[in-house]
Amino acid sequence: MATAVAAMKAMREMCRSLPDTSEVEHFGETCFCVGKRLFASCGEKKGVCRIVVQLEPEHAESLLAADPRFKPYARQRNIVWIDAATMKDFDEVRALVLESYRINAAKPSPKERGSASTRKNRPKKK
């Protein structure tokens, strides 16, 4: 079982080793971003050290159905969290972190999407 300190150390090692990754604090949790997109977080909420990742929708659904350690994230269906204390080996988290990184590295940020679509759809000045 991992402590919060061990979980944070493992998450920092995994996430910081990925290209274009930064670490920020968001609502009291340590978050890892690729570019400007958040792909993983680790932090304590109500005494539980949670590791949060975004997955492909089908993968998130299958984990939630098959593994009681995984919990749905309240605001988005394809994001899951797990109590770090239930982790025996962080190798199983590594694949989830890499999936989340891949998903988010491939997408432009909401700001980038908005500015590109705004420019395309804006009427030309006369």
pLDDT of residue 34: 96
> Which domain does 37 fall in, by range?
4-121
pLDDT of residue 102: 97
pLDDT of residue 90: 86
pLDDT averages per 10-residue partition of the chain, 126 residues:
84 96 91 95 91 97 96 92 89 94 82 53 50
Inter-axis angle of helices 91-105 and 4-16, to 10 degrees?
A: 50
pLDDT of residue 110: 61
pTM of the model: 0.81
pLDDT of residue 114: 63
Number of domains in the chain: 1
Spell out the residues 6+ positions from residue 27 whose beta carbon is closer than 8 angstroms to its own: none
- On whether residue 30 sits in a domain, the answer given is yes
In angstroms, rounded to a whole number, what is the distance separating the alpha carbons of residues 29 and 42?
6
- On whether residue 126 sits in a domain, the answer given is no
CATH number, position 103: 3.90.1150.30
pLDDT of residue 75: 82
pLDDT of residue 112: 58
- On whether residue 34 sits in a domain, the answer given is yes
